[in-house]
Structures are given as C-alpha cells and as structure tokens.
C-alpha cells in the first residue's frame, strides 16, 4: 500500500477529538461514526494498492513521408484498427504521425481512430522527433510500447538519443517495415554547377546517374523550359557521369531541369528528374507587367532611358521565388489584382520586404481601389492608402448582400473553417466600409430567402456583425431568382441615392434562375445595379449564368476557387460602388522637393513645372511616406509617393503612365527622364559591398552554405553588430515562409550560416550588412525531395533493427499480441473513490439506525422514540382524566419530606405528555402490542 497525499493525516487528531467530544447514544453508532471518519481520512490521503498489471499504452508512430509506398496510409490505418480492436478496457492507444513535422492524431484517452487528418509535410522523415513525441505520451508509472510503421529512412537529427531515452524508460521500439520496392531504380544521384557565374560566362553542369545494372537511358536537359541537350547513353552499373556545357545569359538566375528515362519499370520515377539553379551576377532587369508588352509606351520610355526592361503579360508571369529573383523590381502598369492572384501578391510583398527588391505601381481604371488592391496583400507595403473617407463620398449607398448558404457552403477550408465562414467575413467587409448615412440588408438564401438583417441605416455595427457571423449552411441549393427578387424588394424601400445588390453563389450550384432577365431589367430601370461573386471558376456549369446576371445588372462579376479571397472581393465591389476612386478629369499637379530624393537629379526635382494629368486614382498619403508630386485640386491627393518597405522600396504613381488618361503630361519634354528616374529609384542600389567584402553561397549535402568573407588586411571591423540574414522559403506560387537569423564568426576573416534545404522548396536568402544595403543571393534548391534519394538496399530495415535491439523490441507480424506481451509493472491503483463510496453508504446506515433503532433494539421501534417522533395517532389516545382529589395532609404524608425530586430526562421533558393508563406499560413492549391493548380496553369507543 501507499499514501499519495500523506499530509492529510494531520486531520486525524482533530477528527479523533471531535469523535470524543460529540458522543452518540450507543456504542454501535459511535463505532460506526469512527469507521466513517477513518474511511474519509484514508480517501483524502490517496490510499493506493500496489498491484502488478500489464495494462499499458501503445503509441503507433506512422511515417507519412513521400518515401513510403503508395498504399501506406491504407496499410497503416488497417494496422491501427487491428490494435484498437484487441485492446482491453484499461489499455490505451495513441497515434503519432510524422514527416517534415510531427503531429498527434489520437491521444491515449481519445475515441475511435477514424483516419489521418494532420498535415505533417511529406518532404522529410523526422523520425527522432516523432519518437520523442510518442515517448511523452507514455505515462511514467505504466508499461508502454512504440510501434513504428515506417520504411526506416529518416532525415533530421540522429536517432541514437531518442533510442537511449526509450531504453532508459523501459519502453520498447517495435516495428513493422513498409518498404517501397527499389530494385531496378535508375536515379539522378546529384547534379552540380557553379553557384554563380558572370554574364556570358561558360560553365559546366555535371550530373551523376545511378544505375542498378548496365542499360541504356534517355536524357533531356532544359533551361527555363527550353531544351539544351537530349539523347541516349549506355550506362554501367553504379554511378555514371553526364556533362553539359552552357553560357550564362542576363543577370539574375537560370533554372535547369535534367530528366532521365530508363523505361516504365522504374519503381521510383520521382528521382529521375532533378532541378538546378545557377545565379548570374550583375544588375538584374526590371520586370514590367502590362496588358500589351508590344505596345507599351512606358516600356519604350524606360528603355530609351537606358534601363534593362523585360515586359510581359500577367498571364505569362510566374510569382515563384526563383522567377522573382531574376528581376530587380516589378512594375505593375494598370494591372487588376485578380490577374496576379492572392498568392502572387503575397509572394510579391514578401519578396520586396525581405530581399530588398522594388515594386512600382502606375494608375488607371484597373489599378489601386478599382483594380481590387484595397485590403489586398500588397496594400500594406504601399505608401498610399485607399480607404473610403466619408468627406469624399458624393452619394449615400444602400446595399443588399444575398449569401448562398446551400449545402456546398459547409465544405471545410484551411484554418478549421468552412466556406460559409469566409462568405460571412465578406459580408462583414461590406458592413465595415459603410457609414451612418448608408443602409445595409443581408439575406441568407437556399430555397427561400431568410432575412438576417433588414435594410436599415448602418448605425450600430456590433449586433449586425454578430448576426452575420452566425449564418450557417443549412443544406439544399441556392435559388437565384428567389435571391434577386427578395433583394430587389428590400431595396425598393431604400432612401439612398445608390442602390446595389451583391449576389454570392456557388459557380457550380446556382439553381432555379427563372425569368432573371426580366427581373434584372426591372432592377436596372429602378436604378439598382447587380454584382456577382462566384465561388469557383468561370468555366463551371453555372459560371455563364452568373456572368450574364452581372452584365445585365450593370455590375461586376468575380470568380475565385480560393475561398480565402472572398473577403477581398466583397470589399473590392463595395469600394467601387461606394465611390468612383478614379477621377477621369484633367488635373493640374505640382512636384515637390521630395522628387529630388527619388530622381537623384536636382534639375528635375528642384522646380515645379506646370503639369497636368488626364486622371488619377484618389488615394491618401501614409505617415512617413515621401511625397514627390501632388494634385492642386480640392483633394490635394498624392500623385507620386514612395517609401522603404522593409528592406525593399515601393513607389506609387496614381496617374496612368500610358493610356487614355495619361493627359498632357505625355507631351512634357522630360517625361521620359521623369519615369526613368522613378523606376531607377525603385530598383535600388546594385548590392555590391565595399571594403573587399564578398558574400558567397554554395549548396552542399542539402545545405546552403552562406559565407561573408572580409578583407584580411582590414584595420577595423566594418560593422558594429552581426549581419542579419533573411530567408524566404517557397514552393511554387504560394505564400513564402520567412525565417530570420544572423551570421556567426567561423574564423578571423569569415562569418557563416548554414541554411538547410527541404524537399522541393526554393530558398532565397538576403544578407543585410549594417551600414550597407542588402545583398540578395541567388536562389537555391535541392534536386528533388530527399525522400526519393537512392540509397543502399536495406538501409531503412537496418535502422529499424538497430532501434529494436537497443530497446528490447522486435519486428511485429501479429499486432494483437502487443497487449499480451506488455511487461508487468507494479501499478498504484488508487482506492480513494471506493473508500468515499463506502463512507457514504455507512453514513446512510448511521442515519437509518438513529431514526429507527432496528439494529440495536432487536428489530422493534421503542415507545420512547415513537413518542419523541409524535407518531402515535391522535384518535388512539385516551382522554386525560384528573386523579381523584386527596386531602392535602394525606398528600404530604405520602411523600417523604427528605426525598429528593426525581430528575426528569431532557427527552422526556420535551416529549408531548401521554395520558396514563390504568396499568403500567410492559417494559420493552412494541408499538403493535401497545396499540392492540389500548384498543381492547376501549371496546365501546366509536370510530
């Protein structure tokens, strides 16, 4: 036995004293009370029994990396189900999955395991971290086993410390090997080239191809999608070298892809294709994104000014890190936000902030607020804001938002939310943009309209926001005609000058349009416009219908298959309807002294010529931004504004650089120098370090080795603190992840940092030396995911056997035997709850005995207790008769004068008086005998 909380024994003394002071009427009750107090005291001290038990915890550690077989998830789920069915009531099962990260899929106290749900990243196998996480789930005082469902191929930290930790705790590591067949695997073992070269420099690309036997393989080398070399080659068993020669082009980076083909029988085709990135030193070109590269007047002006400009359409641009790294800055010429996409804008914003690159935006009807950049990922890095200010509103606005809440809106999206949640956030964006003079109504539509918010002025937003966010999908489909009819009917009562409907619907599930053409025509006649936001793609089955509704309604139509974009689209449409932020009138502007800082030309920036532009986007200068040109109209709005965004530079020109609304400024003799100076400032400095400092980068064994070399002959250190390193990690056109670190001294003249590379992601590192500009390094990547690297046969199985030997585990064929072979350990089984239950039962017994006396009176109730409880019926009591009068003298003689008065018990004194009977009551007579005798003595009593 053991006491888990012995401190409660201190209560024994006061409990014993209380038992002596407050005694009970009988020894039985006194002993019963003592037993009750003892049981409560033992329960408080945590009395536990030490018993041997096999009841323990099994943690299944499932490998979900790319190196696993294609059906690994199914096999692992089946194994977990078998273990789950065989466990007993006191046995616990948990599931841990791992890849690049580790996640707990099921806790030991969890319910039935339904399947894998966590995203662990499949480009690595961090087995050491998974074992440590699983060990933390095994209780210290109970037996446990870890079952590894993996191929044994691991990445990350060494496994030895984790195995030692398991052995020290007595937890065995069992395994079931799930191997991907590797016989006959032809693979690219590695591909090598210089990390960076100069423009026009020739260099070699060397690839090592591993073949299991002598055979013929086909190869193909591409540079940025164009074939450089292709053919066939006879290879021998082992490593074979392929060599290629190429010449560097423009500064930036060049991407290469090598592919080998050994036939359809290759079991691991993923390692037959390898990537390589080579940096080209020198000033990088500017990327001008425009609707028509061939006719862009801005491109001609910039090239005439001596800038290296590459013009491209938005659809031809890639916003991946390796592609962005080829440009010094990106210029967006009147490009709508939807043509870049949310992911592209997120990548652009991170690239500018972290690498020291530049971004310049010019105006037009497809830019700034009208172009969808309001509350976009790019707006925070812009030196101008695009908010709605009520003093610039011309008319009040009435909007009705009709939200699709059909069954498709219950589909989950990222962050644990569903599509309906993001649609609700979009409606909240509309609410936030409106003012007290505006009106808002909200409908939730399935087969009938449901009024969430009647059309009312926007005065108190909090309760309206709460109602909108509570909308939930209720199943069914959206009836388009019903939605438009209900919204139009609501707007007929509006007092605002501008009336607008926003219809949100699933582009693949918009039903029952009815006679929408006639209805929308009547809306237009009543001054009501209609915009549509379609969740899905324009090519979906109802995409054409939604486009036609918006066209007939005089509004805009947006499509997006990314629910995360919905709030921005709602805000964009409301922004355009609320005010025309593009002013299409000829407007005079003046330059300021701030233009000198941008142009680097006192002659251009020092004077203020009389200039006019044909139109501009109404924006507002942010605090801390440099104002270089401003309108002279009633708004005094910024035309040229710039600032530093993180390490990069951002410049905004709110007028149209080349188009219908360029205006008279196009005829200004120095307009070319004006735009060239703005673009040159945006591109920033060259990034060269003074004082013979040199930054290098080399990819070696899956690590990007960054080195800062200092001049050995320097007289002092060129910086006061360690240089910072910003690392962008991205894969394709997704939002990159940002990591921060610092270089550290490696020797007297070198600072270093090693950046590990993962999977198929691209890493873009930038070194910021204090007192100097940032230096962007060429992008780096691995040839392919390390999960597919060719390895020695049986290496993974050898790893599993070594782990099992070190901890006393084994290979598991029969999974149900895991529970039976669990080691016996002494377990402390706490019996406190049972002691408390016993104490409660004994307390109830005490109360029963005190009320009845059945246990101590031979099973009969006493007459005194009946009298004390007042339970004798009134009709069975005899009427009180006065005793015959006696002389006072005789009465005095009957009682001796010296006789002391007999003490009256308290219970008798307080009990109600019972009339005396003609003969004494037999001692110990029960209640039934007493009642029968009383009845016999009064035969003539009437009932």
Percent of the chain with pLDDT over 90: 46
Query: Residue 608: is its pLDDT beyond 70?
Result: no
Q: Mean of the pLDDT values across residues 865-890? A: 47
Tell me, what's the pLDDT at 710?
A: 93
Model confidence at 885, pLDDT cuts 50, 70, 90, reads: low
SS3 for 305-356 is CCCCEEEECHHHCCCCHHHHCCCCEEEEECCCHHHCCHHHHHHHHHHHHHHC
Q: Mean of the pLDDT values across residues 647-673? A: 92
Query: Residue 166: is its pLDDT beyond 60?
Result: yes
Query: Residue 829: is its pLDDT beyond 70?
Result: yes
Tokens of 411: 């589909």
Tell me, what's the pLDDT at 561?
A: 82
Q: Mean of the pLDDT values across residues 207-222? A: 93
Q: What are phi and psi of 688, to 5 degrees?
A: -80, 140
Lowest mean pLDDT among 31-35, 98-102, 135-139: 31-35
Q: Mean of the pLDDT values across residues 902-926? A: 43
Model confidence at 409, pLDDT cuts 50, 70, 90, reads: confident
Instruction: Return the top range by mean pLDDT from 184-198, 421-435, 636-650, 771-785.
Output: 636-650
Q: Mean of the pLDDT values across residues 525-536? A: 90
pLDDT in tens, 610-630: 789 999 999 999 999 999 999
Model confidence at 302, pLDDT cuts 50, 70, 90, reads: very high
Longest pairwise C-alpha distance within the chain: 151
pLDDT in tens, 506-519: 888 888 888 889 99
CA 341 to chain centre: 21
Strand partners, 742: 724
Percent of the chain with pLDDT over 70: 87
β-sheet with 252-261: strand ranges across: 196-197, 273-280, 252-261, 215-223, 226-235
Name residues whose C-beta falls within 8 Å of residue 573's C-beta, 6 or more positions apart in sequence.
502, 531, 533, 555, 556, 558
CA distances from 873 to 850, 867, 927, 937 (A): 22, 10, 12, 17
pLDDT in tens, 536-571: 888 888 889 999 999 999 888 888 888 888 888 888
Instruction: Return the top range by mean pLDDT from 10-19, 326-335, 382-391, 696-705.
Output: 326-335
Q: What are phi and psi of 111, to 5 degrees?
A: -85, -150
Model confidence at 880, pLDDT cuts 50, 70, 90, reads: very low
């Amino acid at each position: 036995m053991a006491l888990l909380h012995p401190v409660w024994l201190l209560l024994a003394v006061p409990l014993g004293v209380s038992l002596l002071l407050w005694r009970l009427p009988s020894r039985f009750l006194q002993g019963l009370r003592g037993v009750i107090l003892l049981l409560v005291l033992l329960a408080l001290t945590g009395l536990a029994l030490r018993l041997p038990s096999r009841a323990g915890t099994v943690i299944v550690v499932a490998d979900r990396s790319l190196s696993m077989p294609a059906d690994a998830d199914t096999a692992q789920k089946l194994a977990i189900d078998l273990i789950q069915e065989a466990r007993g009531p006191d046995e616990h099962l948990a599931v841990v999955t791992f890849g690049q990260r580790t996640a707990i899929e099921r806790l030991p106290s969890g319910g039935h395991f339904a399947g894998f749900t966590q995203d662990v990243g499949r480009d690595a196998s961090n087995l050491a971290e998974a074992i440590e996480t699983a060990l933390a789930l095994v209780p210290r005082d109970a037996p446990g086993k870890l079952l590894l469902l993996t191929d044994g191929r691991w990445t990350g930290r060494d496994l030895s410390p984790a195995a030692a930790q398991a052995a020290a705790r007595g937890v065995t590591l069992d395994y079931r090997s799930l191997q991907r067949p590797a016989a006959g695997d032809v693979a690219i073992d590695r591909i090598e080239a210089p990390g960076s070269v100069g423009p026009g420099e020739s260099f070699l690309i060397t690839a090592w191809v591993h073949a299991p036997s002598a055979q013929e393989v086909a190869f193909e080398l591409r540079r940025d999608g164009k074939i450089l070399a292709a053919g066939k080659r006879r290879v021998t068993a082992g490593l074979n070298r392929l060599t290629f020669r190429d010449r560097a082009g423009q500064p930036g980076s060049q991407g290469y892809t090598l592919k080998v083909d050994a036939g359809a029988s290759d079991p691991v085709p993923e390692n037959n294709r390898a990537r390589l990135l080579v940096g080209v030193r020198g000033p990088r070109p500017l990327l001008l994104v425009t609707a028509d590269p061939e006719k862009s007047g801005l491109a001609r002006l910039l090239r005439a000014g001596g800038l290296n400009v590459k013009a491209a359409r938005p659809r031809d641009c890639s916003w991946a890190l390796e592609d962005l790294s080829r440009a010094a800055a990106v210029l967006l010429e009147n490009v709508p936000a939807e043509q870049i996409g949310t992911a592209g804008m997120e990548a652009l914003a991170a690239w500018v902030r972290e690498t020291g690159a530049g971004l310049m935006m010019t105006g037009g009807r497809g830019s700034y607020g009208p172009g969808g950049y309001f509350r976009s990922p790019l707006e925070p890095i812009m030196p101008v804001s695009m908010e709605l200010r009520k003093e610039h509103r011309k008319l009040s606005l009435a909007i009705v938002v009709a939200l699709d809440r059909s069954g498709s809106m219950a589909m989950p999206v990222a962050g644990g939310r569903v599509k309906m949640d993001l649609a609700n956030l979009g409606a909240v964006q509309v609410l936030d943009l409106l003012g007290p003079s505006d009106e808002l109504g909200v409908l939730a539509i399935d087969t009938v309209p449901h009024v969430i918010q009647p059309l009312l002025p926007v005065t108190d937003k909090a309760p309206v926001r709460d109602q909108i966010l509570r909308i939930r999908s209720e199943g069914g489909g959206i009836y388009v005609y019903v939605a438009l009819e209900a919204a139009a009917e609501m707007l007929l009562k509006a007092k605002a000058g501008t009336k607008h409907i926003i219809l949100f619907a699933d582009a693949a599930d918009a039903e029952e349009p009815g006679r929408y053409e006639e209805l929308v025509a009547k809306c237009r006649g009543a001054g009501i416009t209609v915009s549509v936001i379609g969740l899905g793609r324009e090519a979906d089955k109802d995409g054409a219908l939604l486009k036609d509704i918006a066209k007939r309604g005089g509004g805009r139509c947006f499509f997006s298959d990314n629910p995360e974009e919905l709030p921005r689209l709602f805000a964009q449409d409301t922004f355009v309807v609320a005010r025309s932020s593009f002013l299409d009138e000829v407007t005079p502007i003046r330059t300021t002294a701030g233009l000198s800082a941008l142009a680097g030309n006192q002659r251009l920036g020092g004077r203020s010529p009389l200039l006019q532009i044909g139109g501009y986007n109404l924006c507002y200068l942010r605090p801390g931004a440099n104002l270089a040109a401003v309108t002279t109209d009633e708004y005094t709005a910024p035309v040229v504004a710039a600032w530093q965004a993180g390490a990069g530079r951002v410049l905004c020109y709110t007028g149209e650089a080349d188009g219908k609304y360029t205006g008279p400024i196009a005829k200004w003799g120095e307009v070319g120098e004006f735009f060239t100076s703005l673009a040159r400032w945006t591109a920033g400095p060259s990034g060269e370090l003074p004082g013979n400092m040199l930054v290098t980068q080399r990819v070696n064994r899956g690590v990007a080795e960054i080195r800062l070399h200092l001049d050995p002959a320097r007289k002092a250190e060129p910086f006061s603190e360690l240089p910072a390193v910003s690392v962008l990690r991205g894969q394709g056109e997704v939002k990159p992840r940002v990591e921060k670190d610092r270089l550290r001294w490696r020797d007297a003249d070198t600072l270093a940092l090693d950046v590990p590379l993962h999977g198929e992601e691209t890493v873009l590192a930038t070194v910021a030396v204090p007192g100097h500009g940032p230096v962007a390094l060429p992008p780096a990547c691995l040839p392919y995911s390390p999960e597919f690297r060719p390895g020695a046969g049986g290496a993974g199985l050898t790893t599993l056997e070594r782990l099992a030997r070190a901890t006393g585990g084994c290979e598991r064929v029969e999974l149900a035997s895991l529970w039976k072979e669990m080691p016996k350990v002494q377990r402390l089984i706490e019996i406190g709850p049972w002691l408390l239950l016993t104490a409660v039962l004994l307390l109830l017994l005490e109360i029963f005995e005190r009320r009845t006396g059945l246990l101590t009176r031979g099973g009969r109730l006493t007459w005194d207790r009946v009298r004390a409880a007042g339970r004798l019926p009134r009709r069975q009591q005899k009427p009180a008769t006065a005793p015959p009068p006696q002389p006072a003298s005789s009465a005095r003689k009957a009682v001796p004068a010296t006789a002391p008065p007999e003490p009256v018990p308290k219970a008798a004194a307080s009990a109600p008086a019972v009339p005396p009977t003609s003969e004494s009551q037999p001692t110990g007579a029960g209640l039934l005998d007493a009642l029968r005798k009383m009845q016999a003595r009064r035969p003539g009593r009437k009932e």
